[in-house]
Amino acid sequence: MLTRAPLSSLSLLVVTLLFIGQANAGSSNSLLDVSADGKLLACSNRDSGTVTIVDVAKLEKLREIKVGHKPEGVSFIGDSHQLAVAVYADDLIAFVDADRGEVVGQCEVYDEPYGLVSTRDGSRLWVTLEYPGQLVEIDPRSSKVLRTLKAGAFPRGLALTPDEKTALVTEYLTTTVRLIELASGKEITNVPALATDSLARQITVHPTRPKAYLAHMRSKVNVAHGEGSIFPYVSVVDLPQAGATEVSEPLKRKRMPMDSFIGALVTANPWEISLSPNGQDAVVVFGGTDDLFVCKVRDDNYRELSFVRHINVGHNPRAVTFSRDGSMFLIYNALDFELVAYDTETTQKVGSVKVTDNPLGDEILRGKQLFYSALMPMASRRWIACSSCHPDSDADGRTWQNPEGLRNTPPLVGLAWTHPQHWSADRDETQDFEHTIRGPLMQGRGLINGAVAASLEAPNKGRSRDLDALAAYTNSHTVPLSPHAKNGLTESAKRGRDLFFSKETACATCHSGPFFSDSNPATKPTLHDVGTGRSDPSEKMPLKYDTPTLLGVYRSAPYLHDGSAATLRDLLTTNNPADKHGKTSQLNSQQVEDLVEFLKSLPYEDPQPEAVKAGLKKVDR
């Protein structure tokens, strides 16, 4: 009964003890969660589409359960052995009985469920929906969405404060932290970051101090160079008094560079930070350098963390959590499909568990390991991996100052069908990214044994198994269907489709075929001057660009090679003053909106069968 009493009626001492005993009870989103009784651990396996249940004491795999495509956040519900899993690509929350190993129910959500936490009493689940920018409240008993709250742009990380009155939500691309009061559903305040802060996937709250911790990167887009562009960070945010519904002063945010501890190696792509139940230890895992830092949490409001030890782990560690008694921490090495446990006190490895079989095949797995690696032969300075800018095939939402001009990072979905690559179509095969590996950005040794052909036309395919594997992985991403067309095209989108295919706007002359692009592997690229690029004094290429696919543009702002169009409406209006990019000046405001609706609905069907029918060929590697 004690745990169910309203917290305000308990004395401070009891509250403190309560949190020490109960810290992390599903209070922070992760790919890992330990049940309240400490016996079971659940991990979600994105590539396999499963959740694995592990016996914590024996470090043994008990069972593995299929839940759907790309599961992300997982949490035990209250103190039960029932689990909730955010199935990202299927837009649903799966409910799993961890003892029986069965899916026992599901709850549909609008799009991209990512972070998921349960209240301690198990009566509510909270879930971040990434693309629509929402936080939803779910009743696990009825499997119903009770409320949908606004939560900024691309929210991923999610934690509840110990009094469970406030949710902390982190934006993926900006790392802004939003504090949302759950009773009213209103944002109390937010903690902005620097424009360079990027890619925060998770946030965790200290069990007793009013502090939240988030691991993220920093991307300095004006330096496309291995020594100055991408850095690993942990930010510590001061939280307001428990139960505050208003905050007048901006909350303090301290940013700690994870490459500045004396005696520690440089690390890349911090993926998650976890605190021990007593709040004294912290572990940060780095998905790019395949390692972790063990730190002591300091109670000084100044340095916050002190470095204890660096440990090399397996491929692409994405999550870390502590056992309930705090005696060990467990690392999820995503690209070894393995959990590894370490003793908290000695930091020695105590065991490991294979959680799932490699579902990718040997070649794609090798390619994926290379894509996520900031180590040799990919990079010599340990700061940058391909995945620093293209994590899980997504764009980083940024426009980089490259030597040839401003270049917006494109998502890699559908890439196999839309070669050549780059906005200027200078790369005809993905193996040409050997130049990126060896160039100033990554300064790696490279994957080809010997020299790379200086000309981009000379074939690099077939010269290195690893490079071919990297290409195979990079070309493997399919395009998810747009949530805007879940119930088919809306009336507005249908009117937009007619405009898109009309002779007058002429959009489909270049954005043709199932991928809405005249760029495909079989034909010589046709570059087009659509009036863009003139405002960038650093542009070195002729002002003609490769037609990009329009599939998935609903979630890939900003637009154009230089990121100069913030929205699709801007692209069709202020960014097209001379009607050089299709003819749009004759459209009234409603027609522009209709055209935007149509663009946001792409793709509303899988483009691949159509592409095969049309005789298009894709590139496998």
If one asks whether residue 330 binds ligand HEC (CB under 6 A), the answer comes out as: no
Instruction: Let me know if 585 is exposed, middle or buried by CB neighbors in 10 A (0-12, 13-18, 19+).
Output: exposed
> Whose Cβ is closer to ligand HEC: residue 356's or residue 408's?
408
Contact 217, 198 (CB under 8 A): yes
CA distance 466 to 471: 9
Spatial neighbors of 532 by CB under 8 A, at least 6 apart, are: 543, 545, 560, 561, 562, 564, 575, 581
**Least distance between ligand HEC and beta carbon 292 (Å):** 22
Q: Which among 121, 136, 32 is positioned nearest to 85, based on CA atoms?
A: 32
Tokens at residue 267, please? 């690390």
Tokens at residue 33, please? 């969660």
> Whose Cβ is closer to ligand HEC: residue 169's or residue 412's?
412
If one asks whether residue 532 binds ligand HEC (CB under 6 A), the answer comes out as: yes
CA distance 499 to 485: 18
Tokens at residue 438, please? 């060896």
If one asks whether residue 329 binds ligand HEC (CB under 6 A), the answer comes out as: no
Interacting stretch for ligand HEC, rule CB under 6 A, among 150-158, 195-203, 333-341, 578-586?
578-586
Interacting stretch for ligand HEC, rule CB under 6 A, among 26-34, 208-216, 253-261, 581-589?
581-589
Among 388, 443, 492, 608, binds ligand HEC (CB under 6 A): 388
**Least distance between ligand HEC and beta carbon 609 (Å):** 22
Count CB atoms within 10 A of the CB of residue 194. 14
Among 421, 460, 591, 608, binds ligand HEC (CB under 6 A): 421
Interacting stretch for ligand HEC, rule CB under 6 A, among 240-248, 281-289, 330-338, 499-507?
499-507
If one asks whether residue 571 binds ligand HEC (CB under 6 A), the answer comes out as: yes
Spatial neighbors of 60 by CB under 8 A, at least 6 apart, are: 54, 353
Tokens at residue 230, please? 């991408």
Among 28, 505, 591, 601, binds ligand HEC (CB under 6 A): 505
Q: What is the separation, in whole angstroms, between the first and last Cα of the chain? A: 59
> Whose Cβ is closer to ligand HEC: residue 176's or residue 430's?
430
Q: Which among 367, 16, 379, 55 is positioned nearest to 210, based on CA atoms?
A: 16
If one asks whether residue 559 binds ligand HEC (CB under 6 A), the answer comes out as: yes
> Whose Cβ is closer to ligand HEC: residue 46's or residue 528's?
528
If one asks whether residue 8 binds ligand HEC (CB under 6 A), the answer comes out as: no
Q: Map residues 456-475 to x or -, x wherever contact with ligand HEC holds by CB under 6 A.
A: --------------x---x-
Contact 372, 379 (CB under 8 A): no
Interacting stretch for ligand HEC, rule CB under 6 A, among 27-35, 131-139, 243-251, 399-407?
399-407
Tokens at residue 357, please? 């079989």
Binding site residues, ligand HEC, CB under 6 A: 229, 384, 386, 388-390, 400, 402, 407, 409-410, 412, 415, 421-424, 430, 433, 436-437, 441, 470, 474, 500, 505-507, 509-511, 528, 530, 532-533, 545, 547-548, 550, 553, 556, 559-561, 568, 571, 581-582, 584, 595, 599
